[in-house]
Amino acid sequence: MRGAASVSTINLQGGHRRAGALVFGEGTWIARDGSRLVYKFWRDVRAPKRATILLVHGLNGAVDDLEPMVEALAPAGYEFFACGLRGQGADPNRPRRGDLRDWRRLRDDLIDFRRYVRHEAADDRPVFAFGESMGALVTLQAAPDADLAGAILSSPVVKFRQDTPVPWWQEALAKMLFRCAPWYRLDLQALARKDVPAPVITRDQVYLERIRNAPCRIPRFTVGFYRELIRLVLATPGGASRLRLPVLVLAAGQDVFVRAEDVASFFDTLPAPDKTLRIYPSSYHLLVRDFEAAQVIRDVHAWLDERTSAA
């Protein structure tokens, strides 16, 4: 069905699986432009259902990035559907991995995925969205049009952190590549200065090793992808001006990509009458995978419980 997610394309890979009371599985669905995208779901069959949470991962992420929150909240009646983003490492369209032609496709995909989940959930329980990093920006843009009960924005990169000015020639080179070679693939890690430590996104070394070796990890993204990522960040003020749903914003004090002060300033601009900001001073970018994850998850749980009720 064009113009909306198709509800007739369920393709569970291996069907439902169970870990104790937690039932989970993977599948695919069809977006409005005909693209097939992946998703994963989890539900605790013993718990009365309170609500459904859409999970939106970040750059170079995967559908299981937020599993610690799933494991903590599913027994409390929260059902989860994680959407694999187009252009990321699990995209069934392999040539598209690492590429993006228009950031608004990501916004439209999340709106369509919400429609698909409405059919899958088969009830009128509230649906929330939890977006992490780049996924938080996608959630911000989609939320006003996605029939959500609320949004949770974790480490939203509302403004790139720049501890040192970007040389003029680098800006000029980037603009030229954006125009002339959007297909060219760059490995930013290889281009990074050798005397500057790699950015720390979490202190959990075991998880860091896991994502470094993940089969879905993309080593090189196209110039066009970086262009659209910048445009997505620059679209933040417009998205913020439209967000009137209940919103919880989570910020990390040690985030290498965005300053907590800039997230707080962004929070102040939100017109939502029901809005909450939580800052974790010692945490790094991947809040659900860092050392204060348990407190972050408790805060999310409490915020959701205040806005839902048990079946």
Rounded-to-integer distance, Cα 98 and Cα 86, Å = 9
Torsion of CA 290, 236, 136, 268, to 10 degrees: 60
Query: Percent helix, strand, coil in the chain (nearest 5)?
Result: 35, 20, 45
**Tokens describing residue 32:** 């409005």
Alpha carbons 254 and 268: distance in angstroms, whole number: 20
Backbone angles phi, psi at 166, to 5 degrees: -80, 125
Cross-strand partners of 128 = 53, 150
Look at the alpha carbons of 200, 202, 203, 208 in this order and tell me if their dihedral is positive or negative: negative
What is the rounded CA–CA span in Å between residue 13 and residue 170?
45
For the chain, where are the alpha helices, taking DSSP H only?
Answer: 67-73, 104-121, 134-142, 168-180, 188-191, 205-212, 223-234, 236-242, 260-269, 293-306
> Mind listing the pLDDT tens digit of every residue in the chain (311 residues)?
233 333 223 333 334 555 568 999 999 999 999 999 999 999 999 999 999 999 999 999 999 999 999 999 999 999 999 999 999 999 999 999 999 999 999 999 999 999 999 887 777 899 999 999 999 999 999 999 999 999 999 999 999 987 666 666 667 777 788 888 889 998 866 555 555 567 899 999 999 999 999 998 999 999 999 999 999 999 999 999 999 999 999 999 999 999 999 999 999 999 999 999 999 999 999 999 999 999 999 999 999 999 997 65
CA distances from 263 to 37, 120, 148, 161, 243 (A): 30, 34, 22, 11, 15
Q: What pLDDT is attached to residue 213?
A: 92
The answer to whether the CB of 156 falls within 8 A of the CB of 249 is yes
* DSSP, res 183: T
Kind and range of the H or E run holding 52: strand 51-56
CATH superfamily of 17-306: Alpha/Beta hydrolase fold, catalytic domain (3.40.50.1820)
Q: Which of 227, 245, 256, 235 is nearest to 54 (CA)?
A: 245
Beta bridge partners of 151: 129, 247
pTM for the full predicted model: 0.90
Nearest Cα residue to 69 out of 130, 141, 145: 130
How many helices and strands in the chain, by DSSP H and E? 10, 11
Q: Is 252 helix (H, G, I), strand (E, B) or coil?
A: strand
pLDDT of residue 244: 97
* CA 292 to each of CA 33, 201, 202, 242, 295: distance values in angstroms, whole numbers, following the listed order: 40, 13, 10, 31, 6
Q: How far apart are alpha carbons 134 and 60 in whole angstroms?
A: 10
| Of 56, 67, 69, nearest in space to 142 by CA | 56
